Amino acid sequence: MDCRSLVIAPEATSRLSADAVLLLVVGESLPPAVDAVIGQAVAEAQAQGDLVLKPGKQAYLGRVPGLKAPRLAVVVAKDGSPKALKAAAVSGLALLKGLAIKHLAVQIAGAGEATAAQAEALVQAVTDAVYLYRATKPSAPAAPVLAKLTLLVGSKAEAATATIGLVRGLAIAEGVTLARELANLPGNHCTPSVLAAQARKLGRSHGLRVEVLERRHCEALGMGSFLSVAQGSAEPPKFIVMHYQGAAKTQAPLVLVGKGITFDTGGISLKTAGEMDEMKFDMGGAASVFGTLRAIAELKPKLNLVAVVPATENMPGGRAVKPGDVVKSLSGQTIEILNTDAEGRLILCDALTYAERFKPAAVVDIATLTGACMIALGGVRSGLFSPDDELAAALLAAGESALDPCWRMPTDDEYDEALKSNFADMANVGPRAGGAITAAKFLQRFTAKLRWAHLDIAGTAWKSGAAKGGTGRPVALLTHWLLAQAK
């Protein structure tokens, strides 16, 4: 999508060539600088009772005499915050849905000069509105034709500020779209081998160094925990490592680790049939890492980034790992597998140990890890776990600025007691109560040499019901965090 800002006197909006103008109003009256033609149209709509300038109200005014753009939509925002403007833009785009709009012009009235955060939020709203999954659905409706977004501003200084947000927003949007596409693919279309191929494709298109470790490489390294999950599947596992270098080689990299379970049956601890189809989304962590890496490669910040994706299916079968089996992890610690459906932590622990070789400045793992986190936080905020206050604060701040929020959960030592085992160094699960926390405590046992945080995105990586599909979260959060580290 072509996203740009255009310096135009507000009163000249009526002469703009666009397929539609979306006016986002902050406050209960239009500022005097709004184009007279648009102001008159809004006043007439108010007089006729078609529009009330109160937060949440909206109107599609269609063709307005004197307005070159053939369509005008007006939405009143709750306030001038990026979150409120994004919500207003979503409402306005719904008014315009189904219309042949190739070029949309957006004007914010009553919020002062446009900020980079506001511009980024608008891009998020627009790109989300035009996303349409088509990969395995040839009967899907034609993709929306919207290809150009113009944010109308009043000065060159305002345009320069807005452009920063538009550029950042577009890069993040492309990363979110990639993450959504990968997550939405059915399990037979997105296997570990497909993820490996996608990594190589991303490497070629964005100048990344990519390594794919095969089963034999993982065996030689001693990744017994990762391989235990993979042993029940006919699909070969892939351990994917991608490198972005934007700073000197001597600068310690940041590392993202994404859970890549391309389909999760639960293994021998088989899940119930209901909604098992949604377990194609169990590689949402991996998808978000791919998307974040793409966004970073587009924006080219001065940092080094390593993305690690352990990818496998979790399947039942004659070779599958069994409850009660004990495996040896890459760290040398042994694990009693009490529940084979707690497999994400088994692949992540070896990936976290593998990350030590990069001597990272910080490591963040991202995983659709526990149903317990969904119960605790629903689909609004991702769960954040870290013993490092500074790292946790940075991720929380990034989530807020990116409109992709998370919530910090406890990591008290007492929760670790639940992972004791009589037959191994630890069990892979504890009791049901506090399950999201004990899962994080399991991972923490493999991070003694790392500054580490864990994002449990089980509630935020996808939606169910009529809107079923991947969300692309937390690409925005991770990208904002990485950009802040570059500063």
3-state secondary structure 277-303: HHHHHHHHHHHHHHHHHHHHHHHCCCC
Q: Which helix (H) or strand (E) holds 312?
A: strand 304-314
445: DSSP letter:
T
- Give the mean pLDDT of the chain: 96
Q: Which of 107, 15, 108 is nearest to 66 (CA)?
A: 15
At 80, the amino acid letter reads G
Residue 356's φ and ψ, nearest 5 degrees, are -60, -30
Q: Which of 200, 271, 408, 451 is an active site residue?
A: 271
Instruction: Find the largest Cα–Cα distance for the chain.
Output: 80
309 in helix, strand or coil?
A: strand
Q: Is the pLDDT of residue 163 over 80?
A: yes
Burial of 182 (0-12, 13-18, 19+ CB in 10 A): buried
Distance CA 71, CA 395 (A): 41
C-alpha distance from residue 353 to each of 66, 255, 302, 347 (Å): 65, 12, 26, 10
The 10s digit of each residue's pLDDT in 328-343 is 999 999 999 999 999 9
- What's the pLDDT band for 236 if we cut at 50, 70, 90? very high
At 324, the amino acid letter reads G
Cα within 13 Å of Cα(127), Cβ side: 25
Torsion sign (Cα): 313, 319, 321, 326: negative
What is the fold, at CATH topology level, of the domain defined by 2-157?
Leucine Aminopeptidase, subunit E; domain 1 (3.40.220)
79: DSSP letter:
S
* pLDDT value at residue 235: 98
Q: Where in the chain is the domain with CATH 3.40.630.10?
A: 179-486
Residues 333, 426: contact at Cβ < 8 Å? Answer: yes
The domain covering 179-486 belongs, at the CATH homologous superfamily level, to: Zn peptidases (3.40.630.10)
Task: Give percent of the chain with pLDDT exceeding 90.
Answer: 94
* pLDDT value at residue 143: 75
* pLDDT value at residue 314: 98
C-alpha distance from residue 41 to each of 22, 36, 51 (Å): 13, 9, 10
Q: Which of 180, 345, 381, 445 is an active site residue?
A: 345
Q: Which of 431, 433, 432, 430 is nearest to 443 (CA)?
A: 430
Residue 355's φ and ψ, nearest 5 degrees, are -65, -20
Residue with tokens 């497999």: 343
In this prediction, residues 28-50 reach a mean pLDDT of 93
357 is annotated as an active-site residue: no
The 10s digit of each residue's pLDDT in 124-156 is 999 999 999 999 999 988 877 899 999 999 999
How far from chain centre, in Å, is Cα 5?
25
Q: Is the pLDDT of residue 66 over 90?
A: yes
138 in helix, strand or coil?
A: coil
In this prediction, residues 91-105 reach a mean pLDDT of 94
- What's the pLDDT band for 10 if we cut at 50, 70, 90? low
* pLDDT value at residue 436: 98
408 is annotated as an active-site residue: no
Token pair in block for residue 268: 């021998």
Residues 344, 368: contact at Cβ < 8 Å? Answer: yes
* pLDDT value at residue 98: 86
Q: Is the pLDDT of residue 289 over 80?
A: yes
Residue with tokens 């920063």: 164
Q: Is the pLDDT of residue 266 over 90?
A: yes
Residues 334, 280: contact at Cβ < 8 Å? Answer: no
* pLDDT value at residue 8: 85
Distance CA 310, CA 353 (A): 12
Q: Which of 218, 219, 231, 182 is nearest to 202 (CA)?
A: 182
Distance CA 40, CA 483 (A): 43
3-state secondary structure 214-262: CHHHHHHHCCHHHHHHHCCCCCCCEEEEEEEECCCCCCCCEEEEECEEE
Task: Give percent of the chain with pLDDT exceeding 70.
Answer: 100
If one counts every other C-beta atom within 10 angstroms of the C-beta of residue 226, the result is 29
| Close Cβ partners of 247 (under 8 Å, ≥ 6 residues apart) | 302, 303, 304, 486
- What's the pLDDT band for 433 if we cut at 50, 70, 90? very high
Q: Where in the chain is the domain with CATH 3.40.220.10?
A: 2-157
Token pair in block for residue 49: 């009772």
The 10s digit of each residue's pLDDT in 68-77 is 999 999 999 9
- In degrees, rounded to 5, the angle at the alpha carbon of residue 189 between the alpha carbons of residues 184 and 195 is 85
